[in-house]
Chains A and B, each alone.
Chain A
Amino acid sequence: MSIQNKIRLKFSLVVFLAIVSIVVAYPKTVGFMSPIFDFVNKAQINLGLDLQGGYRLEYEVDTSKIDENKKEEAVQAAQDVLERKVNATGTSEALIQAVAGNPPRIIIEYPGAKSAEDLKDLIKETPYLEFKEEKTEEEQKAEKEKFNEMLAPSNETSRKSAIDTLQKIKDGGDFVALAKEFNQDPGSKDTDGVLDFMKKGDLVPQFDEVLFNGNLKNGEFYPELVETDFGWHIIKKLEEKGEENNKEIKAQHILFSKQTADAYQDYWIWKETELTGKNLKDTAVVFTDQGVSEPQVQLKFDDEGAKLFAEITKRNMGKKVAIYLDNEIISAPVVQAEITAGEAVITGNFTVDEAKELKRRLNEGALPVPIKLVSQQSVGASLGKASLEKSLKAGVAGLAIVGIFMILYYRFFGFIATIALFIYSAMMISIFKLSGVVSDWPITLTLSGIAGFILSIGMAVDANVLIFERIKEELRDGRGLESAINEGFRRAWPSIRDGNYSTILTSMILIWMGTGFVKGFAVILTIGVALSMFTAIILVRIILQFVIGDWIAKRLWLVIRTDSKKK
């Protein structure tokens, strides 16, 4: 093949590529040929949520309490529950995916006009049901000690404050005012620590002892702190009536309370079992005694659940098993017998309505693990559309001004570069559209992606600027046009390569490290920079080779300011 024919062939390929790209990018160009239009119009850009409206909810799954080998299963079960919830809102096209990690996450994405709030409410009321059993006695003892140790510092503070207050009273401080300030006894809070007339034996022993055997006169206070299970008391006798066994005493006290592990029993006696909401098959509201008694919620387990429940009841005979709903204990019955039927009831002082509500929530799916919303992006469809329009406007304006700039500055060459820039833009849009058709990795175009695209338009002509400046230099040095062009392309290449490599390098880091906005930007910028090397160098060169000839050599002003050549 002669060189001329080779050039012609290459140029035809460029024209073909340009036409295909433009038709794919903007199908309306073939609007008059409806079969082709329909075919091409099928490929659409996969717009991100920020451009078409929609939401993305990210939930963190707390698997910290689950055995390593059961984690995956729990996440899967949670995902199933969420899927049911999503379908219940009539948004079946939503995408739900679990992302492994520590902690694992479940992401729900829905492109469309629906609000995320309904789904969030629905998910929020998803019950988290667990069954817990008592720890062994040794474990409980150890836990209790741990709790007491934890409480010790605050108890010490309380005791010190009691000592200080007693000293103040001894120094003549006002008992009533101090009682007002410090008394922590909830029973006598409103009376500033004044207790009504009490008989011997009505009070805790230590208190009793001081009042009845402490030889206090009316209006006198006991000069020591009195320690009881409640804490440290400062006691003052107010008056007495009656004699001997009928003696009643009215007193006032200031309590500095003490906290004991017993008050927090629920926090340390229970341990998790494997039985959770995931094993629930069905629930019902039942009444014992033909509806006279309070309603109960009956739980029916699946086979695995029935087996687990049988094991739990067997090993906890005579002990309590707690049913936790949303991290709160709702009932803790004592096990009377091993239950193999796979059924349990929750009795929790429900009203009929509450029982029905709980039944509904449980039937819609209970979570096997707690989940927490950790991020949300939701964009109304109208706002998305406005963003798309705004950014398209910016893109068109950018493209136009860059084109005008290039033509004004580089004249004929600038014109060719602008054509290449248009082909570049059409090819980019075609890639966005076709990525989902020809591969499993559709490119999602987000707002930041458009920013990356627009920026890449500015960068795409960099290579042309480098080449054209070089060609101009070579022309000034007295080379012929054709040879100047060849030399220009050859010599500008190292700079173009170096420049684009560094941009691709940083974009790659962004893709690797980034999420959301950052990733969207970097992916498009990387594709853009890579593609623009092709259009700005290869396409421009082929076009130039085809169109350059004697006609332009005679009209060098189209390429370069001719007066500068004279110099």
Chain B
Amino acid sequence: MINIIGKRKYAYIFSGTLTVLSIFVLFFWGLKLGIDFKGGTLMEVQFVQDEVASETVPAENATPKENKEAPKEFHVPSREDVENKIKDIGLESLNVQESKDNVIVLKYLGSEENINEKVVEKLNEFDGKVELLRVDFIGSSISKQLKQNAIGALILAVIGIALYIAWSFRKISYPMASWQYGISAVIALAHDIVITLGVFVVLGKFFNIEVEASFIAALLTILGYSINDTIVVYDRIRENLTKSSKKEDFEVIVNKSILETMARSINTVMTVIIVLITIVLFGGDSIKYFSLAILIGVGFGAYSSVFVASALLVSNYNIEYKKKN
């Protein structure tokens, strides 16, 4: 039989390092909050050739070669062009990105509506027509409310999950008190959430990926889903404890329970990971990072149900056992 629990030292080092690093970057760099939480605008515009304008290209001003191409091509402004054009407006944390099909994505903070008008006005100064594919504008009163709601939801979820764990483990009492199971499970959950946060701090720092309201939904989904793996393993520990003769070592029982539930743990997470990967690969931008967050959290959740939640039980047991003897 493979001894997984026996190798928990390495898991502790791995998880401990990641958790400490995550907390560290969270405090020093912080999450990069997006417009949902700060108020601002996301604008996706497409530059399309203005038919009237292309027909009236003055021929005498163009060299023959240019003249040939003039009706077919028009100058599509690049990222730099757009940045230079609108820099006078003084937009806070402006981020311009080029996308395919002459699409430019602009993101900036600012909760005044008329800023958007100024931007559109400036963009209209380029050749061709500007089509607004998408405008997301969040004013400051809405973003404040979203922030409050997000904090409220997280607090509520933590309380809810804590109550839920207390209820789930009410029957387990031997050889550890049921609250010991609860605490180990909560530590494992915190581990999943903190590491997910850490990953997004890094993504924000180096890839400019911002955290929106959807990220809170992702965190709550992780909380709700990851606790399952732990519950299943604990359920099996409970079952094996009642079946076993009391002489059997706790560590051995936990290890056995982990191995017995390993296939199902891997497979349940696998199916969820499969669908999340398809969303990350095929889905649009707005659900991509949302799914990525769940993917990371659920992945670490599967790992932590074994290597954190169950391993901690054994460690705690050993400490108590040594005290008694």
Rounded to whole Å, the gap between the CB of A89 and the closest CB of chain B is: 16
Q: Which of B211-238 contact A (CB under 8 A)?
A: 212-214, 216-217, 220-221, 223-225, 227-228, 231-232, 235
Majority secondary structure of chain B interface residues (helix, strand, loop or mixed): helix
- Cα distance A455–B261 when bound, in Å? 22
Give the chain A neighbours of B279 by CB distance below 8 A: 391, 394, 398, 451, 454-455
Q: Is the CB of B278 within 8 A of A394?
A: yes
Question: How many angstroms between the C-alpha atoms of A383 and B275 in the bound complex?
Answer: 23
Complex CA–CA separation, A439 to B157 (angstroms): 30
Whether A461 and B271, one on each chain, are in contact in the complex, defined by CB atoms closer than 8 angstroms, is: yes
Q: Contact mask A53-67 → B, CB, 8 Å, 1/0? A: 001001010000000
Cα-based distance from A123 to B108 in the complex (angstroms): 24
- The majority secondary structure among interface residues of chain A is helix
Question: 0/1 per residue, A386-407, Cβ < 8 Å to B?
Answer: 1100110111011001100110
Q: B106-144 toward A: CB 8 Å interface, digit per residue (1/0)?
A: 000000010010001000000000011111111111100
Query: Contacts A375-B138, A521-B214; is A401 near B235 (CB within 8 Å)?
Result: no
Give the nearest-CB partner of B223 in chain A: A506
Q: Given contacts A376-B136, A402-B275, are A518 and B284 in contact (CB under 8 A)?
A: no
Nearest Cβ distance between residue B5 and chain A, in whole angstroms?
A: 20
- On whether the beta carbons of A380 and B274 are closer than 8 Å, the reply is no
Does the CB pair A505–B213 fall under 8 Å?
no
A484 nearest CB across to chain B (Å): 16
Q: How far is the CA of A498 from the CA of B172 in the complex (A)?
A: 15
Interface residues of B in 252-269 (CB under 8 A from A): 260-261, 263-264, 267-268
Residues of chain B within 8 A of A409, CB atoms compared: 267
In the assembled complex, which residues on chain B have CB atoms less than 8 Å from the CB atom of A473?
A: 260
Task: Check: B149 CB closer than 8 A to any chain A CB.
Answer: yes
B142 in contact with A58 (CB, 8 Å): yes
B276 to A458, Cβ gap below 8 A? yes
Known: A382-B133, A495-B235. A391 touches B160 (CB 8 A): no
Query: B290: CB under 8 A from chain A?
Result: yes
Q: Select one of A398, A502, A515 contacting B278, CB under 8 A.
A: A398
Taking the nearest CB of chain B, how far is it from the CB of A125, in angstroms? 12
Encode contact with B along A495-526: 1 for CB under 8 Å, 0 otherwise: 10011011111110110111111100110010
Q: Are B284 and A374 in contact (CB under 8 A)?
A: no
B284–A502 touching, CB < 8 Å: no
Interface centre among B116, B216, B274, B281 (most CB of A within 10 A): B274
Q: Are B141 and A60 in contact (CB under 8 A)?
A: yes
In contact, A406 and B142 (Cβ under 8 angstroms): no
A448: Cβ under 8 A from any B Cβ? yes
Q: Which residue of A lies closest to B146 (CB)?
A: A515
A30 to chain B, nearest CB (A): 29
Given contacts A117-B120, A517-B217, contact A401 B157 (CB under 8 A): no
Q: Looking at the complex, which of A36-44, A266-274, A462-470 is the stretch in contact with chain B?
A: A462-470
Interchain nearest-CB distance for A109 vs B (Å): 14
Q: Within 8 Å of chain B (Cβ to Cβ): is A377?
A: yes
Given A465-B268, A518-B217, A509–B146 Cβ distance below 8 Å?
Answer: no
B153 at the interface (CB under 8 A from A): yes
* A395-B136 Cα distance, complex, nearest whole Å: 25
B267, A469: Cβ atoms closer than 8 Å: yes
Instruction: Please tell me if the beta carbons of B217 and A510 are within 8 angstroms of each other in the complex.
Output: yes
What's the tally of chain A residues with a CB closer than 8 Å to chain B? 72
B272 partner, pick from A448, A455, A522, beta carbons under 8 A: A455
The answer to whether A380 touches B217 (Cβ under 8 A) is: no
A405–B274 touching, CB < 8 Å: yes
* B82 CB-CB contact with A under 8 Å: no
Closest to B46 in A: A380
Q: Does A373 contact B (CB under 8 A)?
A: yes
Q: Does B44 have its Cβ within 8 Å of any Cβ on chain A? A: yes
Contact B286 A447 (CB under 8 A): yes
Taking the closest CB of chain B, its distance from the CB of A433, in whole angstroms, is 22
- Assess the B142–A517 pair: CB atoms within 8 A: no
* Alpha-carbon separation in the docked complex, A380 to B284 (Å): 15
Indicate whether A153 reaches chain B with its CB closer than 8 angstroms. Answer: no
Question: Are A454 and B220 CB-contacts (below 8 A) given A406-B271, A459-B272, A499-B231?
Answer: no
Q: Are B278 and A503 in contact (CB under 8 A)?
A: no
Asked whether B202 is an interface residue with its Cβ less than 8 Å from the other chain, the reply is: no
Verify if B161 is at the interface (C-beta below 8 Å from A).
Answer: yes
Q: Does B174 interact with chain A (Cβ within 8 Å)?
A: no
Instruction: Report the nearest B residue to A391, measured CB to CB.
Output: B283
The 8 A CB mask of B273-298 against A (1 = contact, 0 = none) is 11110110111101100110010000
A564 to chain B, nearest CB (A): 11
In the bound complex, residues from chain B placing their C-beta under 8 Å from that of A510 are 153, 217, 220
Q: Which residue from chain A places its CB closest to the CB of B114 in the assembled complex?
A: A124
Q: Which of A373, A502, A513 contacts B228 (CB 8 A)?
A: A502
**A232 vs chain B, min Cβ distance (A):** 35
On chain A, the residues within 8 Å of B53 by CB distance are: none
Enumerate chain B residues within 8 angstroms of A380, measured Cβ to Cβ.
Answer: 131-134
A498 to B286, CA, bound (A): 31
B276 & A405 in contact (Cβ 8 Å cutoff): no
Q: How far is the CA of A459 from the CA of B279 in the complex (A)?
A: 14
Q: Is the CB of A466 within 8 A of B213?
A: no
Assess the A394–B281 pair: CB atoms within 8 A.
yes
- B213's partner among A461, A495, A516 (CB-CB below 8 A) is A516
Question: At the interface, yes or no: B168 with Cβ under 8 Å from chain A?
Answer: yes
Residues from chain A with a CB closer than 8 A to the CB of B294 are 455
Q: What chain B residues lie within 8 Å of A55 (beta carbons)? A: 135
Residues B44 and A465 in contact, CB atoms below 8 Å apart: no
CB of B156 within 8 Å of the partner chain: yes
**B24 CB–A CB distance under 8 Å:** no
Instruction: Tell whether, in the assembled complex, residue A394 and residue B160 are in contact, meaning their CB atoms are under 8 Å apart.
Output: no
Q: Hey, which chain A residues are within 8 Å of B213, CB to CB?
A: 514-518
Residue from the set A115, A386, A505 with the largest chain B CB neighbour count within 10 Å: A505
- Tell me which of A116, A374, A505, A509 contacts B135 (CB under 8 A): A116
- Please tell me if B179 contacts chain A, counting CB pairs below 8 Å: no
B contact residues around A378 at 8 Å (CB): 132, 134-135
Q: Is A494 an interface residue (CB 8 A)?
A: yes
A102-116 Cβ-contact flags toward B at 8 Å (1 or 0): 010000000000011
- 18 further A-B pairs in the complex, CB-CB below 8 A; given A401-B278, A462-B272, A509-B220: A373-B113, A374-B141, A382-B133, A387-B286, A390-B284, A391-B287, A393-B282, A398-B279, A455-B291, A465-B271, A466-B232, A495-B232, A498-B231, A502-B225, A502-B227, A510-B153, A518-B217, A521-B214
Nearest 3 Cβ contacts at the A-B interface = A506-B224, A374-B139, A499-B228
Q: List 28 A-B contacts (CB under 8 A).
A: A117-B120, A373-B113, A374-B140, A375-B137, A376-B135, A383-B44, A391-B282, A393-B282, A394-B283, A398-B278, A405-B274, A451-B279, A454-B278, A465-B268, A469-B263, A499-B231, A499-B232, A501-B164, A502-B224, A503-B225, A505-B157, A506-B223, A507-B224, A509-B153, A509-B160, A513-B150, A515-B149, A518-B217
